[in-house]
Amino acid sequence: MGANDVPVDADKATKKPAEVRRMKSPSADKLDELLGKIKKNSVPDEAKGPTMSGEGQISSMSMPAGWSREPAQPSRNHTGNYVEFHSDKNPTVKMGTYYRGHRISATGAKRFHEILKAPEHELTDDEYRELSDVLRDKAKSEDFKVIKKKTVNLNGKRILLVEGEFKEIKQNAYAVYVDAEGTGEVVQEIFFQAPEADYPSYFKAAEAAIKSISWL
C-alpha cells in the first residue's frame, strides 16, 4: 500500500448500496400511503352522507352526513322530477335537484347556451335578466336579492351558479343550473336552501356535496 493510499473498510464498502436502498424504501412507502389517503379522502368529510345517483345529469352526488332523503313526491306541475334531502337536525335546511319537465323558450335557451359557452365570468345585470326562463323564482329582483351570479366549471361541466336571498320568506339559496342536453332548452337545477340564521352553519357541507358531483 502506498503512502497516499487510504485503507478501505471492505465491510463498510459493501454495506453502502444496501443502506442507500433502505433509505429509498421508506420514502416510497410514505408516497404510497399519501396517495392512498388522497384517494380515500377525495370526498370531504362534510359530504359523506347518503348518495344521490342517476338523477338527470348527476351520476352521483355525496350528500352531507346526517341528512335524509324525503319520500318521493311529484313536482309542482306533475310533469317534472323533484328530489329533496334535508338535515336530520333541522328539516328546514334542504338540498336537492329539480327538473321542471318541459323545455324553456327558444329565446331563453339560446341565451343560456351562449352564456355557458362563453369563458367563465360574472354575469352582467342584462345577462341575468335574459335568463328569466332559466332562473324561475330567482329572476325577479323584488323577490330575490342576488349575491352571486357567475358561470364556472364544476368537475368538467360549465354551469351557472347563483346565490342570494328570498326576501319574503327570509331564506338563502345556492343554486346550480345545468344545460342538460347541450342546447340550453332542458334545465336541471341543483339547490341548497336554508333559513338565513341557519345558512352559514350548513353552507360548507352543502358546498362540499355540490363539489362531489360526478356527471353522466
Enumerate the domain spans of the chain. 46-215
Handedness of CA 45, 47, 51, 56 (dihedral sign): negative
CA distance 131 to 138: 10
Q: What pTM did the predictor assign?
A: 0.78
C-alpha cell at 199: 345558512
For 27-40, what is each residue's pLDDT tens digit?
545 554 554 444 33
State which residues of the chain have pLDDT below 70: 1-47, 73-79
Average pLDDT, the chain: 85
Looking at residue 216, its pLDDT comes to 94
Residue 45 burial class via C-beta count within 10 angstroms: exposed 0-12, middle 13-18, buried 19 and up: exposed
CATH number listed for the domain at residues 46-215: 3.40.1000.10
Q: Looking at residue 47, what is its pLDDT? A: 63
Q: Hey, what's the cell of 67?
A: 341528512
- pLDDT for the residue 48: 78
Residue pLDDT, tens place only, 56-75: 999 999 999 999 999 876 55
Q: How far is CA 150 from each of CA 113, 118, 189, rounded to the nearest angstrom? A: 14, 11, 15
% of residues, the chain, pLDDT over 90: 72
167: how many CB neighbours lie within 10 A of its CB? Answer: 13
The pLDDT, as a whole number, for residue 24 is 43
| pLDDT recorded at residue 14 | 47
